[in-house]
């Protein structure tokens, strides 16, 4: 595709927007979370995010003025949008999904990382398109992918599928130009971040792009930033991954917005601060849960210890009661034995006494008999 045709493609979005008006959410409206996310408590505060945007972006009613933003907290995958579904000219943002399609072909073995795309080294294509945003190399990629997929429309369809965007949600202007929305570009970034192993050189090239500009205006030296900008014809956009402790994805798209470069840099800075605050809230909540769990565990342990002590005390009381019962039985047996012994002694003493009385009676009877005999002998002697 020649340079003339390339410029036609780049200017086409502005023309198409006059023919294909796309309904957009009111500025500041946050998109509802997907159904599967509604059950979980959100960590994002839409009101605070709206406040950040509204403090920095002041609409000036410039002709055709457009501002859109997409934010994703990767810790939970939750997203927040401002005017997410208006498709406007992408400027050079369109180069990112093109390079990602080529990186996918490398991953699938269709291309080699050291191979060539229409005479250009793949590594050079990625760096020239992403780090330096060269239009000449973009033409090469567009021509190659149009030929590979059979048409421009098919190439755009492949980009949407790669990003996980349902084709039926895309307006016709998407298929006829390089127009994108904040929601679409955030989906592209999500694919890049979540499957970064497929795009290592893509991210490396974006990490080198535009030092001190766009998202890196205020964040240079504080966080790594992998970014792709798009500019020209009153457009100024930036899409990227900002590597705070928990990285976040950010898309800012502007058309005919006053001092857009400053706005883009300050939004990145404020949202980096916001992301860190979300991390802190989650950490605090986790700490509170940990402390609550520790308290519950301590209470359970205390209850268990008290139950164990009560059980031990009951056991000791039972053992003491049993010891006392056995001692009482032993004492009763001893008393019974003593009674038996006393009764036996008393019986023995009575028997002895009876025997003594009997002996005495016998002896007394014997003595009486002897006396009687003696008296009888004496009486007979006297008769003689």
**Domain membership flag for residue 321:** no
pLDDT 10s digits, 188-224 = 999 999 999 999 899 999 999 999 999 999 999 999 9
What is the per-residue pLDDT for 384? 66
pLDDT 10s digits, 289-333 = 666 666 677 778 878 888 888 898 899 889 989 989 998 888 889
Window from 16-25, 152-161, 307-316 with minimum mean pLDDT: 16-25
What is the per-residue pLDDT for 123? 94
102: exposed, middle or buried (Cβ count in 10 Å: 0-12, 13-18, 19+)? buried
What is the per-residue pLDDT for 161? 96
**Domain membership flag for residue 238:** yes
**Domain membership flag for residue 96:** yes
The DSSP symbol for 26 reads: P
What is the per-residue pLDDT for 257? 96
**Domain membership flag for residue 296:** no
Integer Cα distance of 340 and 344 in angstroms:
6
**Domain membership flag for residue 30:** yes
Number of compact structural domains in the chain: 1
pLDDT at 351 over 80: yes
**Domain membership flag for residue 342:** no
H or E element, residue 121: strand 120-121
CATH number at residue 110: 3.40.710.10
Give the confidence band of 278 by pLDDT, cuts at 50, 70, 90: very high
Give the phi and the psi of residue 227 in degrees, each rounded to 5: -135, 155
What does the DSSP assignment read for 127-155? IIIIIS--HHHHHHHHHHHHHHHSSHHHH
**Domain membership flag for residue 139:** yes
Instruction: Output the pTM of the full model.
Output: 0.69
Segments forming the whole domain that contains residue 60: 3-290
Q: Which residues pair with 67 in a beta bridge?
A: 254
**Domain membership flag for residue 380:** no
pLDDT 10s digits, 280-291 = 999 987 656 666
More confident residue, 255 or 377: 255
């Amino acid at each position: 595709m020649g340079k003339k045709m390339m410029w036609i493609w780049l200017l086409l979005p502005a023309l198409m927007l006059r023919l294909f008006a796309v309904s957009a959410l009111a500025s500041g409206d946050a998109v509802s979370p997907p159904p599967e996310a509604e059950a979980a408590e959100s960590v994002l505060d839409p009101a605070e995010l709206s406040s950040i945007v509204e403090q920095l972006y002041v609409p000036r009613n410039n002709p055709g003025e457009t501002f859109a933003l997409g934010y994703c907290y990767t810790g939970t995958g939750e997203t927040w949008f401002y005017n997410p579904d208006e498709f406007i000219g992408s400027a050079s943002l369109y180069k990112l999904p093109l390079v990602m399609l080529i990186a996918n072909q490398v991953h699938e073995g269709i291309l080699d990382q050291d191979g060539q795309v229409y005479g250009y080294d793949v590594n050079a294509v990625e760096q020239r398109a992403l780090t330096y945003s060269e239009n000449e190399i973009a033409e090469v990629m567009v021509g190659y992918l149009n030929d590979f997929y059979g048409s421009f429309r098919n190439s755009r369809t492949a980009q949407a599928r790669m990003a996980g965007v349902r084709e039926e949600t895309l307006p016709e202007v998407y298929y006829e130009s390089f127009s994108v929305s904040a929601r679409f570009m955030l989906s592209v970034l999500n694919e890049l971040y979540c499957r970064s192993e497929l795009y290592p050189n893509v991210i490396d090239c974006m990490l080198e792009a535009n030092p001190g500009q766009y998202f890196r205006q205020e964040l240079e030296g504080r966080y790594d930033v992998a970014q792709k900008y798009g500019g020209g014809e009153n457009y100024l956009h930036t899409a990227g991954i900002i590597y705070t402790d928990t990285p976040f994805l950010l898309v800012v798209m502007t058309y005919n917005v006053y001092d857009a470069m400053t706005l883009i840099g300050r939004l990145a800075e404020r949202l980096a601060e916001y992301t860190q605050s979300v991390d802190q809230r989650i950490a605090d909540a986790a700490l509170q849960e940990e402390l609550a769990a520790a308290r519950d565990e301590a209470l359970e342990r205390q209850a268990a210890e008290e139950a164990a002590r009560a059980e031990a005390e009951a056991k000791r009381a039972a053992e003491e009661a049993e010891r006392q019962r056995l001692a009482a039985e032993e004492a009763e047996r001893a008393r019974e034995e003593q009674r038996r012994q006393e009764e036996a002694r008393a019986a023995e003493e009575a028997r002895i006494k009876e025997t003594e009385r009997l002996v005495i009676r016998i002896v007394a009877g014997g003595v009486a008999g002897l006396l009687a005999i003696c008296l009888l002998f004496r009486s007979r002697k006297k008769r003689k």
